[in-house]
Chains A and B, each alone.
Chain A
């Protein structure tokens, strides 16, 4: 019989362009077949022996906008829809250390997240939501110590015991320098604040995740799957080393490190990536850092579907994209998941769009059956080959970054930023040329007008928030505030941990901007060289 011609001259992975064979067999994984079971080192298949058979993943939608009252309302809505953990989006001024009335905050107030200027705002955000009972993830980095201090103080006011609080602060500045860009201070000062927070939590908040090492934003900025995984783990290594330099034993802090990853459209590649990251991290922790506690080796991860795979054209198609990406995450055994709402290429998600995103997870959980057995794709020749291949790619990058002196140095030299920008540009060119098909964008296009009801942030939000912070400054005990700020300065200039004085300071209603200004004057502000 005559061989039929294949529809492409060659097929390639998107992880690094390696040629994909027509079929994979036992021979492709010989010698590299991982025979460990779920719950067994190196945890390739899952960190827990029974996976989702004991407990499903946490549905954790990223949310926050406008004022604390609006966000509080949305959180209560999410809770009713079956959201089992909160994930707070802060507006950019809060993330970059400006109060809402600062000139740099003009136009940004309440846009990308909720505006938090002071403890009073933080208390209102959680009004009617018992912080002792929920778990809260906060996407906050440069100002993470200040925001965590406010969260602790707000919880105390509700009568909660800070030692029992559950949640996460992102606190990952390395990826800010690589990709996300909400840094304030230089890399060294940032590392000091990060480790202050981690050390404080190691001692005082045993159930709090003090660091969420992120590759999500690295991927969103254009990295390939291998680059995403490699830069994330290289950042993880840098944090472990920084904590060890403070004299803390690895098993005292590593169990509280968690990860936040991206999930793109190539389902099998993504599954292999998650498996490879789990295995690589376990080996790094055990072999390189001598961890003994299995929890230090367990790679716990949250995934957010790649927003950059959403298209503004034919937005309902994004529901299908999200389904495929979410399926990849569940097939890989993620701990928690945020599904992208179909309108996110156009605006912050509307309530209807968020509901569909949550339902997508629930349909996978309760109807598809994929959560009934652990690592169902394990043993697939292609997935096992890809897992090994991605692990090798990660190791090559880590070796390169080690040779530069680690991730902190690689970031200072702009190496990681350049690698990401190169991949982003290559991808854009592939889309422009049609080589990379994006349905509805460069193929199967229509002239339909998008007609969705999008979430709008009213313009008076900014004015109201400005009034609120100014009123607060006028009414509080300003002598107590000044005293607290002076104390924060003294500690920042010393080697003491900043967390205890920050908790005291936020209770005087010192604002986020005032506290960030103290740090700015001690550490200076960082400006990144423009890397194309």
Chain B
């Protein structure tokens, strides 16, 4: 998508307050040239889905370190898909056990980034995934 800046929404569903990662990623993606909407923490999947549609973003990054990911991550994707037909890229991160990743991939997450994932790797992944989708 040459010429168009990628719009990404970063949010924390559920009650988890660990926002260091989400904030660093929001800043990292902004420094990588993307338009970033940081929605904040303690949000319901409904609130996030509403914002995703209103902000017309290309990608969504969800972060959760409390263990509620299997509940809140898939629900968010489902609600977004009900509201829009746009092919939005979903990525996730946090403390996510390896064995939960297949279920999240199945629910529509393109990738799950674990602790220690470098910022350039995340921004590169979002860029190339969106380019592939547009091609």
Chain B residues with CB under 8 Å of A421's CB are: 23-24, 27
Q: Mark A99-122, 1 if CB is under 8 A from B, else 0.
A: 000011111100110000000000
A27 to B95 alpha-carbon distance, docked (Å): 48
Cβ-defined contact, B27 with A425, below 8 A: yes
B6 within 8 A of A: no
Rounded to whole Å, the gap between the CB of A406 and the closest CB of chain B is 23
Cβ-defined contact, B70 with A107, below 8 A: yes
Rounded to whole Å, the gap between the CB of A435 and the closest CB of chain B is 13
Selected from A111, A424, A441, the residue in CB contact (under 8 A) with B66 is A111
Cβ-defined contact, A532 with B38, below 8 A: yes
A181 within 8 A of B: yes
Chain A residues with CB under 8 Å of B115's CB are: 311-312, 345
Rounded to whole Å, the gap between the CB of A335 and the closest CB of chain B is 26
B114 within 8 A of A: yes
Chain B residues with CB under 8 Å of A438's CB are: 116
Q: Mark B24-37, 1 if CB is under 8 A from A, else 0.
A: 10111010000000
Cβ-defined contact, A450 with B119, below 8 A: no
A13 within 8 A of B: no
Cβ-defined contact, A182 with B17, below 8 A: yes
Binds B, one of A56-64, A201-209, A276-284, A426-434: A426-434
Chain B residues with CB under 8 Å of A347's CB are: 95, 97
Chain A residues with CB under 8 Å of B14's CB are: 92, 107-108
Chain A residues with CB under 8 Å of B70's CB are: 107
Q: In the complex, which residue of chain A has the Cβ closest to the Cβ of B114?
A: A312
Q: In the complex, which residue of chain A has the Cβ closest to the Cβ of B43?
A: A104
Task: Pick the most buried of B14, B20, B70: most chain A CB atoms within 10 A of its CB.
Answer: B20
A211 to B9 alpha-carbon distance, docked (Å): 37
Number of residues of chain A lying within 8 A (CB) of chain B: 45
3-48 of chain B: CB within 8 A of chain A = 14-20, 23-24, 26-28, 30, 38-42, 44
A530 within 8 A of B: yes
Cβ-defined contact, B120 with A530, below 8 A: no
Q: In the complex, which residue of chain B has the Cβ closest to the Cβ of A442?
A: B118
B67 within 8 A of A: yes
Cβ-defined contact, B71 with A107, below 8 A: yes
68-110 of chain B: CB within 8 A of chain A = 68-72, 95, 97-98
Rounded to whole Å, the gap between the CB of B68 and the closest CB of chain A is 3
Main secondary structure of the interface of A (DSSP, over half): loop
Chain B residues with CB under 8 Å of A111's CB are: 66-68
Q: In the complex, which residue of chain A has the Cβ closest to the Cβ of B70?
A: A107
A346 to B94 alpha-carbon distance, docked (Å): 9
Chain A residues with CB under 8 Å of B19's CB are: 181, 221
Chain A residues with CB under 8 Å of B41's CB are: 181
Selected from A346, A428, A441, A442, the residue in CB contact (under 8 A) with B119 is A428
Chain B residues with CB under 8 Å of A532's CB are: 23, 26-27, 30, 38
A95 to B44 alpha-carbon distance, docked (Å): 17
A96 to B26 alpha-carbon distance, docked (Å): 25
Known contacts A180-B17, A425-B27; decide if A107 and B68 are in contact (CB<8 Å).
yes
Cβ-defined contact, A92 with B66, below 8 A: yes
Cβ-defined contact, A93 with B24, below 8 A: no
A321 to B120 alpha-carbon distance, docked (Å): 26
Going nearest first, the 4 A-B pairs with the smallest beta carbon separation are A107-B71, A181-B17, A107-B68, A111-B67
Residues on A facing B (Cβ under 8 Å): 92-93, 95-96, 98, 103-108, 111-112, 176, 180-182, 220-222, 308, 311-313, 345-348, 421, 424-425, 428-429, 431-432, 438, 441-442, 450, 454, 456-457, 528, 530, 532
Residues on B facing A (Cβ under 8 Å): 14-20, 23-24, 26-28, 30, 38-42, 44, 66-72, 95, 97-98, 114-116, 118-120
Additional A-B contacts beyond A92-B14, A346-B97, A441-B116 (8; CB < 8 A): A105-B15, A107-B70, A107-B72, A425-B27, A428-B119, A438-B116, A442-B118, A530-B40
16 contacts between A and B (CB under 8 A): A106-B68, A107-B14, A107-B67, A108-B67, A108-B68, A111-B66, A181-B41, A182-B15, A312-B114, A347-B97, A421-B27, A431-B118, A441-B116, A442-B118, A532-B23, A532-B27
